Amino acid sequence: MSQLALIDGKPIIADSFTPAQTIGEEELSVATEVLKSGNLSGFFGSWSDRFYGGPQVRKFEEEWASLFQTKHAISFNSWTSGLVAAVGAIGISPGDEVIVSPWTMTASAAAILAWNAIPVFADISPKTYNLCPESVLKSITPRTKAIMMPLIFGSAGGLIEVKRIAEENGLILIEDAAQTPYVRTEGRWAGTIGDIGGFSLNYHKHIHTGEGGMAVTNNAEYAEKMRLIRNHGEAVVEDKGHEDITNCLGFNFRLGEIEAAIGRVQLGKLPNVVERRYYAGKNLAKMLEDLPGIRLPLIDQEISHAFYIFAIGLDLEVMGVSRNTIVAALQAEGVPWVYGGYQNIHLQPMYQRKVAYGRDSFPWNLHPEEEHPDYEKGICPVAEKLHDQEVICLQICQHDYDTRQTELVGEAFLKVWKNLEELRGWESAQSSPVKGNP
């Protein structure tokens, strides 16, 4: 009889983990207060004292700026909105190129296209899963205006090197720290090192307001431009006397008062939530460190990883069994939120067919076809191989991961590795390949 639950053994984890829950009585109380006030949004889309939002929004922004030691924090109704505002605020023009990673949530690249600028995908590092500095350097052309650096999974690995490249080449750096709040690198907060950075407050993140986002910057001009883009800038610039109206086309990207009030309470919980994930990730890494064929996340300093996702790279030659079979075995052991692969944005139909606005390849058609960036499979070999074959993602942010749960997940890994020989035999007996995300 097999030990492995995938075959006919008993799973290590019998009960499902309860989903992470950061919302409690305090959030209920502040949301109720706002409801009682009847003032659910303090914004007006015109130049008045309500242009910058209501009292909860303003306090939320002040408190965020203070915690992250930045001059400005600008709230949004999502970080997707924040990303669009950030790309607009740097004065991007149609046809400008922005270097971005294929390993991110789709909005990091879509925000570039939103201003008719052109995403150029650089490869990632197999150690950090963030942009590879050498690949960024190779992707720079005379049209490059900025680098959009997603800090993926909770790690700011490679950020300092990419910042140096941006400075040396006169490029603007936007950090997409959606998954990486309250993480330090070289003594500074991830998200605050580039020209603009920001965080997601959607329901799946470390702390949340249901939907929401927060941009941070020390640049007053970028901050004000983001506020104009957030709140119908075109209707505001004249009365405000705002001289530089570049990209002041505005939207309604405003955060509500209830969400802001909840966000203020959540912000108070952030250090503790991230610290818990960090120690869970670190303890899990300790349990797995001697397993053959495994590359663990980089944890180089204290609280240097928020462990939104605990990503594991496999050396397939050592393993002798496919990544998807290992994922299936871990899932059968009851490990929650574990899956094979992550993303390869450049392979989405929009990039493959270069169809974003209308049918004529706009904005790519602003330039001669031979100068269009290449989005073919093969342009980001590291990202593609990791996604297709080598990476396992464990989305630990979905649960609280107390000591016992961390141990159980570690034990599930140890059990699968102990029975690799049997797993190899099981895999070769299958009539069709195992899927990564059954």
Ligand X SMILES: Cc1ncc(COP(=O)(O)O)c(C=O)c1O
Q: Which residues bind ligand X (CB under 6 A)?
A: 78-80, 104-105, 107-108, 150, 176, 178-179, 200, 202, 213
Shortest Cβ 409–ligand X spacing (Å): 22
Centre a 10 Å sphere on the Cβ of residue 240 and count the other Cβ atoms it contains: 16
Q: Determine the number of helices (DSSP H) and then strands (DSSP E) in the chain.
A: 15, 13
Of 262, 269, 258, 212, the closest CA to residue 400 belongs to 269
Q: DSSP H helical segments within 289-392, as ranges?
A: 316-319, 323-332, 349-352, 381-385
Q: What's the CA gap between 294 and 313, in Å, rounded?
A: 6
Shortest Cβ 152–ligand X spacing (Å): 6
Please, what is the Cα angle at 392 between 388 and 395, to 5 degrees?
A: 125
Angle, nearest 10°, between helix axes 403-418 and 257-288?
Answer: 40
Shortest Cβ 16–ligand X spacing (Å): 23
**Is 129 exposed, middle or buried, given 0-12, 13-18 or 19+ CB atoms closer than 10 A?**
buried
Write the single-letter amino acid at 120: V
Residue 73: helix, strand or coil by DSSP?
A: strand
* Cβ-based nearer residue to ligand X, 43 or 76: 76
In the structure encoding, which two tokens stand for residue 56, read together?
A: 């909860």
Shortest Cβ 174–ligand X spacing (Å): 11
* Cβ-based nearer residue to ligand X, 108 or 125: 108
For residue 155, list its beta bridge partners: 305
* Cβ-based nearer residue to ligand X, 335 or 345: 345
Of 282, 228, 293, 248, the closest CA to residue 424 belongs to 293
* Cβ-based nearer residue to ligand X, 178 or 394: 178
* Cβ-based nearer residue to ligand X, 123 or 176: 176
Shortest Cβ 307–ligand X spacing (Å): 14
Q: What's the CA gap between 384 and 306, in Å, rounded?
A: 24
Shortest Cβ 38–ligand X spacing (Å): 27
Shortest Cβ 430–ligand X spacing (Å): 33
Q: How far is CA 143 from CA 12, 97, 139, 140, 178, in A?
A: 54, 5, 10, 8, 27
Shortest Cβ 392–ligand X spacing (Å): 18
* Cβ-based nearer residue to ligand X, 251 or 426: 251
